[in-house]
Structure 1
Amino acid sequence: MKLKFTKQDYQTDAVESVVDCFCGQPKVERAQYRLDPGIRKERKGQTEFTTDPDLPGFRNHELKLNLGQLLENIHAVQHRQNLPLSPTVVSKPSCPVNLDIEMETGTGKTYCYIKTMFELNRRYGWSKFIVVVPSIAIREGVAKSFEITAEHFMEEYGKQARPFIYDSKQLHKVESFSSDGGINVMIINAQAFAARGKDARRIYEELDDFQSRRPIDVIKKNHPVLILDEPQKLEGKKTAESLKEFNPLAILRYSATHKTEHNKIHRLDALDAYNRKLVKKIAVRGISVKGLAGTNAYLYLEGIQVSASKPPVARIEFEKRQSSGIKRVVQRFGKGDKLYELSGNLDQYRDFVVTDIDAVTDTVTFSNGAELRSGEASGDINENTLRRIQIRETVRAHLQKEEENFYKGIKTLSLFFIDEVAKYRQYQDSEELPGEYAQMFEEEYRQALNEYLELEDNPYKHYLQHIPVHKTHNGYFSIDKKSKRLIDPKVKGRGEEKQADDVDAYDLILKDKERLLSLDESVRFIFSHSALSEGWDNPNVFVICTLKHSDSTIRKRQEVGRGLRLCVNQAGDRMDPLSCGATVHHINRLTVIASESYKDFTASLQKEIADSLSARPRKADEAYFKGKVLRTAEGNVEVSDQMAADLYFYLIQNQYVDSKKEITKTYHDAKDSESLAELPESLQPYAPQIVRLIDSVFSDAMLPEFENGRTVKPNPLNKNFEKAEFKVLWEKINRKAAYTVEFDTDELVGKCVEHLNADLKIARLQYVVESGVQGDKISYEGLKSGSGFAIKETATQKLNSTAHSAVEYDLLGRLAEDTCLTRRTIAAILKQMRASVFVQYRANPEDFLNKAARIINEQKATVIVEHLAYDPIEERYDSDIFTAEKPQEDFKKAVKAERHIYDYVFTDSKNETEFVRTLDTSAEVVVYAKLPKGFSIPTPVGNYNPDWAIAFKEGTVKHIYFIAETKGSMSSLELREIEQCKIKCAKKFFSKITTDQVKYDVVDSYGKLMELVS
């Protein structure tokens, strides 16, 4: 398994936010200084230098921008991201430049700061970087990230970084760091320079084995850029004081939760990451203990199963009299079942008769008035019982998700965190024995496995059969070097700061990272010590279970953070929005097995997320909207006073804000159901950007609702699937086709030239002139603080002369690479551009390249779709695609249906729900289906999956068969260019492979559908 990396817009934004803060800094490569060779050593009568006295060192060139220029750059970056503008450049004793980059856990902040190093090197020539981390776990993870991204960045930049982990016993690496002219990166944990131990002091001491030099003196000569990973854990007094010893050029701070803010230049917080589908969706299986009045009867409701032909049944664990004694067993119960009789006449169940099983609300009601919800237990509940339930739920959640992932070529991993090794592995003399949790796991796994093996024969069943139970789980712990036994790690800190100090354990975790992603590897369930949790960032963790006493100091975000990263398939491709589109959260779903109720766990998690969003604005008024930037494909648009007034009135008029100027639940409900009121005319051209701007204002209603992992149940096909009308419809649309594109290069060149001449506008560089005067009185304090002068006037001027750049650009090569066109075609386009437009290249080359590439790509897509033609091929879609994925959905979104091919229809919005309900009651409709993801139409801009296939009663409409794409009322404004291209392709596809009886179109309601078919 080899992980692959692709360019992601949100990561590029994070990189550019940092790099653009230094605009105007001249590029100076390989700035030299004389490297201190240290004191000569005598050996056997010969004089030796361990360092060549004439060997040059290489350092970062000094920052040439003054604070005014830096602040102007920072404001430009903050302005385009609609972040609050910093009043000053925040300086500290450790460094004059301190930039904060906020990125949610799992979105690739390590990748971003590695890429930032390459960009800072390309733009400004800086090549010395130090990554400071708070723990051994993060240090080892960072080193691994450099290793697995090396080839990726080599392809993009044509060079490799040279990272190394600082070790006071291997100081020759420090010397190489200084003497090498390439990109060099030192990775160091804070304990190596800010602790009191002997090893930590060595960095400040003159050492015989380092030619009587102090390592810190050699390091500081490089004037490095410092990158702090998780800076909120590096704010101790000793650490903060020690940072200035590195003589940093700038400090970049990367975290999801900044404790202290400096100049924030980028924000990708928990809400942004979730709404943009950059992290997994979270489902929670809570376990709550409930006392049923007047009884000690033990009951645990695992869940409710539904089927096409039978009433729902409940899976309940209860106590049953057997020949070997009373045991707890899991059994299926139906309406009317008497627990007293089925338990072997145990008195505690005398009044328990099942009177109702509700699959939608996940509840079972008994004749004595008692009610249980899925995940609730009553009666005799001790810690062992709770842990066994957690393990059982983890196994079942794993198998549900694994079956779905198996057919997509995605390995599924589940992660148990425990508080002591003895719970997993014990030792008796020389014999290794399973601990109580390992025994529980194997018992519960065998029981769940036997149920799966009873099902119909399929490839997933064969996969399960070939994995021995004892090989499907493994423990990752510290290992005693003498006895080779698993041991508890040495732990430092308490609560959330608790961490292990065992390099070997982390090395094992990281070494096996790719191996565990392979379906050929039998290990699927992992047990690890809770103190090693930071070491786990495997992208294919889909279930997390913490088997330990509840600890109020451990945050819920920390608990789920180990599984947020988007997964990868067997080819190493990440299943992200680029590759999966709208299905990204269907594939990427993390289930947390909590030791508390669903309600308590999710409430705590939501509160933690809300608390982390304190920097977000809370009021949506004119003052907030004025001057904000709308980033469109054509360029940036600033919100004018009139636009701000129109937007605020729109929000008031539709009750989208309340008297406190806070966004209401009404707005979020309307947005989710795609039924937002129409925007004023002045704002309609920017509808998607306006929605994102409103969403930047925080309200409690926008917090994500975490799914209840228990409401996931199979939804089998029913008798409608066998109806003749559906079979005829399927026969008409299941043809596959290949597309061809033939277009004239001259036509493409002409379109590109036309739109470049009309739309290419390059921003000129600006500078700020500040005029000030000295105060009437001068004090020592004023001179010391810099407040002896007061700014009286600020003027912003445009730089009209040509911008000098030391960077050599390959204009043709760069545009050819970004557009996938030949250099000849790019040259033809540039030659025909108006000189007055092309001359903008000299003013701002980077902006010219980016905007020109975007315009050319847009015109290329348009030309391709216009000249695309489909040709049917012999191959057809098999009806197996309706069962291959075995859809399992959240029943909270379920609509019970009569005419759909499944018993339940799962909708994504209020608009879809209304559409389904009308379809299901319409006298004209015979049968309909939500088309599975496996039914896709190939297009030049990615595969396209239509929404609905509908068969009408013959004689009631003109078009008996209809393929529909449902969109909300604002959809035409929000449709991206790529979606519009796909819809145009779909129309060509269906017109080619079907007859006049079948029609395809986009509709927003059942009424619109009837207009089109009648």
Structure 2
Amino acid sequence: MELKLENNLTHQTLPVDGVAAIVEASIPEPAKQSHQNPLLKRQLDDEALRLVRKNGNILDKATKQRVTPYMLSDKIKNLPYHRILDVKMETGTGKTYVYTRTMFELHKRCGFNKFIIAVPTLPIKAGTAAFLKEQEVKRHFETVCNYNADIELCLLEPQKQQKKGRLNMPSAVGHFFYGTHHAKHKIYVLLLNTQLITNGKLLTREDYDQMLGEFHRPVDAIADTKPVLIIDEPHRVERGSKSYAALIENFRPQLVLRYGATFPELTVGKGKNKHSVKDYQELIYDLNAAESFNQGLIKGVAKEHLELPGGKKAEKKVKVISTVKGDSANMKLTSADNVGKTFTLHVGESLGSIDNDLDGVVVEAISKNSVSLSNGQEKQTGEEFFPDQYGVSYQEGMIELALMRHFETERENFCREGLPIKTLALFFIDSIESFRGPEGKNDGWLRKKFIDMLEARVKKELTCQNTPEYEAYLRATLENIDSSCAGYFSQDNNDSDENVANEVKVILHGKKELLSFTDEEGKPNVLRFLFSKWTLKEGWDNPNVFTICKLRSSGSEISKLQEVGRGLRLPVDSAGNRISDSSFMLNYIVDFTEKDFANKLVAEINGELDADQKSPLSITAEDIIKVAEKRNIEVNKFFIELMTKGYVDFDKKVVPEKFDDMLIEYPEFKDVTSG
């Protein structure tokens, strides 16, 4: 199959045209040397910025969300001056496509041909490289979009240690530096992960046995090209971070383009005036979750959290944290409000000390990786269970629910009119060993349990009325049950096991293989259940993920948003066609401790809640009336007073620069606003 890209989708062309219009209006002179980009003005064109933001219909939202001036740390203040444009796009709406097309547009309109793409993780790097090298992508931009240019990908990788001989500069840097604008049809893209510039001296050492032009250090040669820097996932490369400082100080980009579904949050103000804002510099496009769903650009989300048999709600769980063979086991009790308490139990002691519902259950034996209980059960390290029904494994219950939803969706997608859709499920777990096993041989207890449960579920599905084609696919799953699931974890990059290496290759680099019902030999491809810990978040996605099951809780809300984002893309059929004329839902199955976050997320994505409604920079006409009454001032007179002092505009919207001053002079607004 070949993935097919669509052309001239409004939500993608708007940010492309916006960036290009601003840059085009901000170029005073062409490139001075053949290896350089044209030169930008010190300040981006204000009128072009205003028009682009107006056309993008984000001026009011940006004014509510932004705080200007940005509260710079000393480290940021000392960085070389650079210009920033921010593009916010919901996960699944084509962010990588947009910044790739932006490079083509800037080359066409303005003659730019030197771009750096900086990503925070290896999975993002792998996904970006695969996209840029994909033949269908190249064909799309050449023949469909009519860009008369090719991207020369300069992929920066760590160099192997040289024991002797010449110390050569990274070849990707030389290829990038010597690329000339006289080659009218070439765009040079240096792709790197930020660790390559923050860890080690790959780009900053000056003892290489060669020079690039007049430069001894790779970073100086790169900086001399006057590059445009594209930052993917800006919340992972915050402006106060070591990574961001290294990128700016070393590459000295003329322009920074930040693309993300989530941006860093900053705390500004002091004391009672302290509040959080998004770190936008010049936000020129904002496509949020609700708008994406309303425009049919992403899946909706159907959230569930596990309940006990009989409809009883899960309110607490116990997890085996660690064990000392023959001696003790650490267990953690977590309540519904996500409060946890850890207990240490020894052989012969009762679990009743953890929770009254476990009275009578005694620790009989403790091994290296498990605890044997007097009720005949064995609980593995990392396993969770319900105190009030201690025979039920928490993971087992969630897996059962996820499999039920997966096969409901898979049956519908397989038997739909037209070409079938391969249906994938993604599981987030908290213990790599539970999947890979103690020796990394893919024999962990969770993997074994999953395969047993999958086998039982497939047999049950075979008792239903199926089309001959779907029944054949289910039978192929039974015959290749071990091949139906795979995992990718950060430690896999250093694993020498062949089976693990094959799983990593498919998940990271084999998107088309994951989307296909058959392999290269024409045999059924039954792989569709994927497992990860933290790794498959930013940068990795597959349009045909229809179920996300979280067998562990996340940390920050940004982390949770990144995880659910892996399943928001609209799916493609078995021929690679994106299906945008139907409604699809993502099954989002969470731990009960995340149910409140999930409910809010579902409301935002499905368009039931304005994600910006609690902006700290918002006041309403009703707020002004309340404060006027508190101050015994006539309402219209009070409104004119606020306008005269520059605190609000004619539409009663707060002027961001004046927000803190307004609260100091009129503290009553703190009491009447929800922000």
Same fold (TM over 0.5): yes
Query: 5+ unaligned residues in a row in structure 2: which ranges?
Result: 71-75, 160-168, 181-185, 265-278, 314-356, 358-384, 519-524, 623-650, 654-672
Counting only pairs closer than 5 Å after superposition, residues 402-417 of structure 1 correspond to structure 2 as 402-408=410-416, 409-417=420-428
SS in structure 2 of the partner of residue 153 of structure 1:
helix
| Separation in 1, partners of 2:148, 2:305 | 50
Report the equivalent of 2:486.
474
Compute the displacement of 1:575 (Å). 1.2
1:282 is matched with 301
Find the counterpart in structure 1 of residue 122 from structure 2: 136
Match of 1:232 in 2: 235
The match for 2:187 is 183
Distance 1:177 1:205, change over 3 A: same
The CA distance in 2 between the partners of 1:621 and 1:78, in whole Å, is: 25
Q: Relative to structure 1, is the Cα distance of residues 234 and 425 closer, same or farther in structure 2, using a 3 angstrom cutoff?
A: closer
Q: Distance in 2 between matches of 1:6 and 1:480?
A: 34
Deviations 1:545-593 (A, max 9, x none): 12235656774312311111111111111112xxx1xx2x2xx211012
**Percent of aligned pairs with the same residue?**
33
1:268 corresponding residue in structure 2: 287
Change over 3 Å in CA distance of 1:213–1:23 after alignment to 2: closer
1:271 and 1:393 map into 2 onto residues whose CA distance is: 27
How far the C-alpha of 1:407 sits from its partner, in A, is 2.2
Q: 1:523 to 1:506 in 2, by over 3 A?
A: closer
Name the residue aligned to 1:221: 224
Task: State the AA in 2 paired with 1:153.
Answer: F
SS at match of 2:398: helix
Are 2:83 and 1:73 equivalent residues in the alignment? no
- Answer yes or no: is the 8 Å Cα contact 2:386–2:392 preserved in 1: no
Alpha-carbon distance in 2 for matches of 1:480, 1:263: 37
Asked whether the equivalents of residues 411 and 569 of structure 1 are also in contact (C-alpha less than 8 Å), the reply is: yes
1:813-832 matches, within 5 Å, as none
- Following the alignment from structure 1 to structure 2, what is the Cα–Cα distance between the partners of residues 248 and 470? 49
Structure 1 distance, partners of 2:24, 2:421, is 43
1:603 CA drift (Å): 3.3
Q: Deviations over 1:478-535 (max 9, x none)?
A: 4476751788xxxxxxxxxxxxxxx998655222211010112211212233334445
Cα distance in 2, alignment partners of residues 442 and 84 from structure 1:
52
- Given that residues 94 and 240 in structure 1 are in contact (C-alpha distance below 8 angstroms), is that contact kept between their aligned partners in structure 2? no
| Selected match of 2:395 from 378, 384, 387 | 387
What is the CA–CA distance in structure 1 between the aligned matches of 2:437 and 2:620, rounded to whole Å?
59
3-state SS in 1 of match to 2:45 = helix
Instruction: Give yes or no for the alignment of 1:164 onto 2:163.
Output: no
What pairs up with 1:830-979 in 2 under 5 angstroms? none
Change (3 A) 1:71 1:134: same
Alignment deviations for residues 227-261 of structure 1 (CA, whole Å, 9 cap, x no partner): 11122321234334331331212111111222312
Matches within 5 A, 1:31-50: 31=31, 33=33
- Bigger relative contact order, structure 1 or 2 (CA pairs below 8 A, ≥6 apart): 2
Taking structure 1 as the reference length, the TM-score comes to 0.45
Letter paired with 1:80: N
Task: Give secondary structure in 2 for the equivalent of 1:593.
Answer: strand
1:285 partner SS: strand
One-letter amino acid matched to 1:174: V
SS at match of 2:258: strand
From 551, 571, 574, the counterpart of 1:570 = 574
What per-residue deviation string (whole Å, max 9, x for no partner) do you get for residues 989-1009 of structure 1? Answer: xxxxxxxxxxxxxxxxxxxxx
Match of 1:426 among 419, 430, 437: 437
2: distance between equivalents of 1:514 and 1:267? 30
Deviations 1:908-938 (A, max 9, x none): xxxxxxxxxxxxxxxxxxxxxxxxxxxxxxx
| 3-state SS, counterpart of residue 539 of structure 1 | coil
Cα distance change, pair 129–549 in 1 and its aligned pair in 2 (3 A) = closer
Look up the match of 2:599.
603
1: distance between equivalents of 2:506 and 2:177? 31
Unaligned runs of 5+ in 1: 34-56, 290-297, 303-347, 349-376, 488-502, 623-659, 663-698, 701-1014
Q: C-alpha separation between the residues in 2 aligned to 1:398 and 1:233?
A: 31
Q: 2:446 aligns with which of 437, 443, 448?
A: 437
Question: How far did residue 435 of structure 1 move?
Answer: 2.3
Name the structure 2 match of 1:14: 15
Q: Is the 8 A contact 1:137 1:535 kept in 2?
A: yes
Structure 1 residues 122, 621: CA separation in 2 closer, same or farther (over 3 Å shift)? farther
Report how far residue 166 of structure 1 moved: 2.0
Supply the distance in 1 between the matched residues of 2:91 and 2:193 (Cα, whole angstroms): 19
Question: What number of residue pairs does the alignment pair up?
Answer: 491
1:396-432 alpha-carbon deviations (Å, 9 max, x no partner): 111000011002310001111222232123367xx95
CA deviation after TM superposition for structure 1 residue 154, in Å: 2.3
SS in 2 for 1:266: strand
Q: Which amino acid is the alignment partner of residue 464 of structure 1?
A: L
Tell me if structure 1 keeps the 8 A contact 2:92–2:565.
Answer: yes
Distance 1:83 1:536, change over 3 A: closer
Match among 133, 151, 159 for residue 139 of structure 2: 151
Matched AA of 1:529: K
Structure with the bigger percentage of strand = 1
Displacement of 1:112 in angstroms is: 0.3
Offset, 1:120: 0.4
Where does residue 970 of structure 1 map in the other structure?
none
* C-alpha deviation, 1:271, in angstroms: 1.9
Partner of 2:588: 592
Over the aligned positions, Cα root-mean-square deviation in angstroms equals 3.7
Give the structure 1 partner of residue 344 of structure 2: none
Question: Does the Cα contact within 8 Å between 1:506 and 1:535 map onto a contact in 2?
Answer: no
The equivalent residue for 2:632 is none
Give the TM-score taking structure 2 as reference length.
0.65
Residue identity in the other structure for 2:249: K
Which residue number corresponds to residue 90 of structure 2?
104
Find the counterpart in structure 1 of residue 465 from structure 2.
456
Q: Distance in 1 between matches of 2:515 and 2:592?
A: 30
Q: Which amino acid aligns with 2:252?
A: N
Distance (Å, rounded) in 2 between the aligned partners of 1:457 and 1:238: 56
Spell out, residue by residue over 1:614-640, the C-alpha distance to the aligned partner (whole angstroms, 9 max, x if none). Answer: 669856879xxxxxxxxxxxxxxxxxx
The 8 Å contact of residues 302 and 588 in structure 2, kept in 1 or not, is answered as yes
Counterpart in the other structure of 1:58: 35
Tell me what 1:897 maps to. Answer: none
* In structure 1, C-alpha distance between the alignment counterparts of 2:4 and 2:28, rounded to whole Å: 31
Residue identity opposite 1:398 in structure 2: H
In structure 2, the residue matched to 1:206 is: 206
- The correspondence for 2:58, drawn from 78, 83, 87, is 83
Take 2:410 and 2:174, find their aligned partners in 1: how far apart are those partners?
49
Amino acid at match of 1:470: D
Instruction: Indicate the residue corresponding to 1:723 in structure 2.
Output: none
After superposition, the Cα gap between the structure-2 partners of 1:213 and 1:445, relative to the gap in structure 1 and judged at 3 Å, is: same
Distance across 2 between alignment mates of 1:233 and 1:241: 13
Q: Is the 8 A contact 1:286 1:595 kept in 2?
A: yes
Query: In the TM superposition, what is the alpha-carbon distance from 1:82 to its structure 2 partner?
Result: 3.0
- Per the TM alignment, residue 171 of structure 1 is displaced from its structure 2 partner at its CA by 1.5
The Cα shift of 1:473 comes to 2.0
Tell me whether 1:173 sits opposite 2:159 in the alignment. Answer: no
Contact preservation (8 Å) 1:25, 1:124: no
Compute the displacement of 1:443 (Å).
Answer: 2.6
The letter of the residue matching 1:202 is L
Task: Tell me if 1:399 matches 2:436.
Answer: no
- Mean Cα displacement is larger for which, 71-80 or 236-245? 236-245
User: Which secondary structure state, in structure 1, belongs to the residue aligned with residue 58 of structure 2?
Assistant: coil
Listed as ranges, the matches of 1:447-526 within 5 Å are: 447-459=456-468, 460-467=470-477, 468=479, 469-477=481-489, 478-479=491-492, 484=497, 508-520=506-518, 521-526=525-530
How far residue 66 of structure 1 moved from its aligned partner, in angstroms, is 6.2
Match of residue 644 from structure 2 = none
1:116 and 1:269 mapped to 2: Cα distance? Answer: 20
The whole-number CA distance in structure 1 between the counterparts of 2:130 and 2:123 is 11
